[in-house]
Amino acid sequence: MSQDTKFLKSLNISSSEKGGYDGSKWFASGETFPCVSPHDNKEFTKVQHCTLEDYEHCVKNMQGAWRTWASLPAPKRGDIVRQLGEALRANLKDLGAVISLEMGKIAGEGIGEVQETIDICDFACGLSRAING
């Protein structure tokens, strides 16, 4: 891994990743495709895509997870979203670098994309306190 992509290692992004998540693990059984930076046309990882069956497995698991999530009181859901925002804040620079690498954006734009998600987490957390439930 080159010096300019050390942030991938800090985010536990390896040379080959699975493209599906079922709520408990990353998986995929479809074709593998390279992820190439539009800036220099260099491959920085590979992602194995999901098949239709993989997708259906994810949807089934996520429907069950939704019932669990919906049963939590709004303040508890808000706290989970707050923790997500904190994790994004802790990795802001590295996550911004991934977006920059993958999308060919300048570093500031990549960081801005992550910051926007953090802002949405903050907003949602605030809303969770306003909802009676």
- Show which of 42, 71, 100 is a domain's final residue: 71
- Tell me, what's the pLDDT at 3? 47
Residues 66, 10 share a domain: yes
Amino acid at 115: Q
* Domain interval for residue 116: 72-133
Cα 4 to Cα 7, 93, 98, 111, 117, distances in angstroms: 8, 13, 11, 16, 24
- Show which of 33, 56, 71 is a domain's final residue: 71
- Show which of 40, 55, 71 is a domain's final residue: 71
pLDDT digits (tens, 9 = 90+) for 97-118: 999 999 999 999 999 999 999 9
Residues 62, 23 share a domain: yes
The CB density around residue 49, as the number of other CB atoms within 10 Å, is 15
- Tell me, what's the pLDDT at 96? 96
pLDDT at 44 over 60: yes
* Torsion angle of C-alpha atoms 128, 129, 132, 133, degrees rounded to 10: 50
Kindly report the pTM of this predicted structure: 0.83
